[in-house]
Amino acid sequence: MVGGREMMTSFQPSLSQPASLRPDLSVIASLIPSGVRLLDLGCGDGELLEFLVYQKEVRGRGIEISEEGVLACVRRGLTVRQGNLEEGLADYPDDSFDYVVLSQTLPFLDDPAMILREMLRVGQKAVVSFPNWGYWRCRLELLLHGRIPHAPDLPQAWYEPPRWQVMTVSDFIALSRELNVRLLDEVYMAAGKRSPRTWFKNLLATTAVYVLSA
């Protein structure tokens, strides 16, 4: 939450439509059925949410911590709330949404298990994407140089705010098992494209996308 304030906004749709989506957002969009109730956590500038609302007729809203992101969403005509995911989703009753999305945000949260539980409390299904530090180039860089590498799809140094925590595909699968979360679907990406293979995924994938249920 920025400055201890929360804000709900709802404006008329803008005339502009997204010409294209970031590759991982495109995968997420393909996994979301038309017309569902959806909550986009850490929705940023609203790129994904705009596409889903206007192209797939999703009844969507978002939560974003940065004031800049909220204003960008408002300019797109989206319904957003300014808030901090670290505080949970207590304002939303159980099963308020069909889908809850968390894109490229999980590594920045102090308590990933809490937010996954909350996502599956307020939503029937959750869609999560994150960069994979288990990718072979990350491993090689750490081996050769002894320094924490940039994630292949998240070009940000470990010391730059907001700080991230290194996590891999295997870490997430282990966490899901610990939380008794079901993996309904999985998509792995490399070089911005879907990978046709799921074996050696922790070694070959740069980004992972999962559909989850309780």
- Of 7-16, 27-36, 66-75, the range with the lowest mean pLDDT is 7-16
- In tens, the pLDDT along 122-138 reads 999 999 999 998 888 88
- In tens, the pLDDT along 142-196 reads 888 887 777 777 767 777 766 678 889 999 999 999 999 999 999 999 988 898 7
Q: What pLDDT is recorded for position 165?
A: 83
Residue keyed to tokens 């098992």:
177
Q: Considering its fold, how many domains does the chain have in total?
A: 1
| Beta-strand relationship, 207-213 and 182-190 | antiparallel
Q: What pLDDT is recorded for position 163?
A: 67
For residue 97, what is the domain's CATH number? 3.40.50.150
Residue 150 domain flag: no
Residue 186 domain flag: yes
Residue 155 domain flag: no
Q: What pLDDT is recorded for position 95?
A: 96
d(CA 70, CA 67): 5
Give the domain range for residue 24.
8-135+166-213
Q: What pLDDT is recorded for position 156?
A: 73
Residue 185 domain flag: yes
Strand partners, 128: 102, 210
Q: Does 56 score more than 60 pLDDT?
A: yes
Residue 143 domain flag: no
Q: What pLDDT is recorded for position 139?
A: 86
- In tens, the pLDDT along 27-44 reads 999 999 999 999 999 999
Question: What SS3 state is found at 116?
Answer: helix
Residue 116 domain flag: yes
Residue 184 domain flag: yes
Mean pLDDT, the chain, rounded, equals 87
Q: CB within 8 A of 123, min separation 6: which ones?
A: 39, 95, 96, 97, 98, 99, 100
Q: What pLDDT is recorded for position 45?
A: 95
Residue 141 domain flag: no
- In tens, the pLDDT along 80-110 reads 999 999 888 999 999 999 999 999 999 889 8
Q: Does 16 score more than 80 pLDDT?
A: no
Q: Does 141 score more than 70 pLDDT?
A: yes
Higher pLDDT, 3 or 94: 94
Nearest C-alpha neighbor of 55 from the set 22, 80, 33, 70: 33
Q: Is 46 left (phi over 0), alpha (psi -120 to 50) or beta?
A: left
Question: Residue 161 CB: number of other CB atoms within 10 A?
Answer: 7
> Cα 182 to the chain's mean position, in Å?
17
Q: Does 19 score more than 90 pLDDT?
A: no
